């Protein structure tokens, strides 16, 4: 009865349960219903409760391997924070493993191996309980009766823990069908579905962002092209004006008359026009009328 082993399996929904830096493995499943394979004994809810009663509030020793020679100074850590958890159709006892600093410092290789296995291949090892217990059977009226050796071997027998002294790391676990962490298959599947849905949402948001950037980039290219075309047209009009002024002067000289004094209107700069605005409404109208100019000269305007 003192060598029931419990399997440790990987559960993708419990990422972060293994913390090698702190020396902690959280939520380890120590014992679970419905049976201890190879030991001809069943584990029911009351079995789990008896283990909990035996360890609750106590730091229980952890050994690197299960051996009758284990002593207190052979401990590699302690088990604590025991809980009974429902995991779908199973009931299980869980706890947190906390490694001793002394074991970590003096057995660095074993320490690193344990935490790497727990993180990458938790199915490769498990936990064995060292405890004293009694075996019970249920009578016809449903009452518990202590099983006596030599009685009917075909009757279903159940474990009841009396005292638990340690849980040890072993290579071949036997009675923990739901794995390392207290989370059922339905919950794991739900977590995976939610993660997949979130991934699709992020991909859609990313695509929408790319489309928006492409649209803005296209609009910016169009505006820049329009500004260049307007600038070219302005330069052409300026050259045409100079030509007409020259022709006008020649015509006046040939006629022999005094030329008409032409006062050339000086075009005010944007800053000068802005300075002459007497209200915010006038400034807003000026901005709207000079939007292309502002876009083209924005960097210079900021500098000035």
With left for phi above 0 and alpha for psi between -120 and 50, is residue 142 left, alpha or beta? left
**What does the DSSP 8-state code read for residue 276?**
H
DSSP annotation of 179 reads -
Mean pLDDT across the chain? 77
- Give me the sign of the Cα torsion angle 189, 194, 199, 203: positive
pTM score, two decimals?
A: 0.53
Average pLDDT over residues 190-211: 73
pLDDT band at 20 (very low <50, low <70, confident <90, very high): very high
Nearest to 181 by CA among 60, 55, 13, 21: 13
CA distance 170 to 123: 11
**pLDDT tens, position by position, 236-246:** 888 888 888 88
Per DSSP, the residues of 12-77 read GGGTT-EETTTTEEEEEEEEESSEETTTTEE--HHHHHHHHHHHTTSPEEEESS--TT--GGG--E
* Mean pLDDT of the region 228-235: 86
| pLDDT digits 0-9 by tens, 66-125 | 565 566 678 999 999 999 998 888 898 989 999 999 999 999 999 999 898 888 877 767
How many other CB atoms are there within 10 angstroms of residue 49's CB atom? 15
- What is the per-residue pLDDT across 169-182, written as a single tens digit (0 to 9) for each? 876 654 555 445 44
CA 140, 146, 151, 152 torsion-angle sign: positive
Ranges 13-22, 50-59, 253-262, most confident = 50-59
Q: Report the 10 Å Cβ neighbour count for 84.
A: 15
Residue 195 has a pLDDT of 62
CA atoms within 13 A on the CB side of 92: 26
Q: What is the pLDDT of residue 61?
A: 92
Q: Is the model's pLDDT at 194 over the cut of 80?
A: no
- Separation of alpha carbons 59 and 55, rounded Å: 8
Q: Residue 244, Cβ neighbours under 10 Å: how many?
A: 9
CA distance 180 to 238: 83
Please give the pLDDT value at position 261.
55
49/214: higher pLDDT? 49
**Tokens found for residue 247:** 């022709």
Q: Percent of the chain, pLDDT > 70?
A: 73
Q: Does residue 214 surpass a pLDDT of 70?
A: yes
Tell me the sheet residues that pair with 78. Answer: 61, 98
**Angstrom distances, CA of residue 102 to CA of 60, 62, 169:** 17, 13, 18
Write down the pLDDT at residue 13.
Answer: 35
Where is mean pLDDT largest: 10-14, 143-147, 265-269, 280-284?
A: 143-147
Task: Of 273, 216, 73, 47, give the one whose Cα is nearest residue 138.
Answer: 47
Check whether 301 has a pLDDT greater than 70.
no
- Rounded mean pLDDT of 141-158? 83
Q: What is the pLDDT of residue 69?
A: 56
Of all residues in the chain, the percent with pLDDT exceeding 90 is 22
Lowest-confidence segment of 228-232, 266-270, 283-287 by average pLDDT: 266-270
pLDDT score recorded for residue 22: 92
The alpha helices in 82-140, defined as continuous H runs, are 101-106, 108-120
What local confidence, expressed as pLDDT, does residue 126 receive? Answer: 74
Residues 6+ positions from 287 with CB-CB distance below 8 Å:
294
What does the pLDDT look like over 30-44, one tens digit per residue?
888 887 766 678 899
């Amino acid at each position: 009865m003192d060598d029931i082993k419990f399997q440790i399996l990987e559960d993708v929904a419990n990422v972060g349960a293994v913390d090698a830096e702190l020396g902690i493995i959280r939520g380890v499943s120590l014992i679970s219903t419905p049976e201890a394979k190879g030991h001809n004994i069943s584990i029911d809810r009351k079995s789990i409760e008896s283990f909990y009663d035996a360890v609750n509030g106590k730091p229980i020793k952890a050994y690197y391997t299960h051996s009758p020679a284990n002593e207190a100074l052979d401990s590699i850590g302690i088990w604590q924070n025991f809980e009974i958890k429902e995991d779908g159709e199973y009931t299980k006892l869980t706890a947190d493993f906390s490694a001793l600093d002394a074991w970590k410092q003096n057995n660095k290789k074993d320490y690193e191996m344990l935490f790497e296995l727990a993180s990458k291949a938790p199915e490769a090892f498990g936990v064995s309980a060292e405890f004293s217990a009694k075996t019970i059977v249920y009578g016809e009226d449903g009452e518990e009766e202590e099983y006596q050796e030599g009685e009917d071997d075909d009757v279903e027998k159940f474990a009841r823990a009396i005292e638990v002294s340690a849980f040890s790391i072993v290579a071949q676990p036997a009675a923990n069908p739901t794995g390392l962490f207290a989370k059922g298959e339905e919950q794991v599947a739900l977590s995976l579905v939610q993660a997949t849905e979130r991934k699709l949402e992020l991909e859609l948001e990313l695509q929408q962002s790319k489309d928006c950037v492409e649209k803005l980039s296209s609009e910016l290219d169009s505006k820049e092209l329009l500004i260049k075309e307007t600038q070219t047209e302005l330069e052409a009009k300026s050259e045409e004006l100079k030509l007409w002024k020259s022709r006008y002067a020649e015509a006046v000289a040939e006629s022999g008359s005094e030329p008409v004094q032409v006062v050339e209107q000086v075009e005010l700069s944007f800053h000068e026009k802005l300075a002459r605005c007497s209200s915010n409404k006038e400034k807003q109208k000026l901005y709207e009328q000079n939007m292309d100019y502002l876009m083209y000269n924005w960097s210079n305007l900021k500098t000035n």
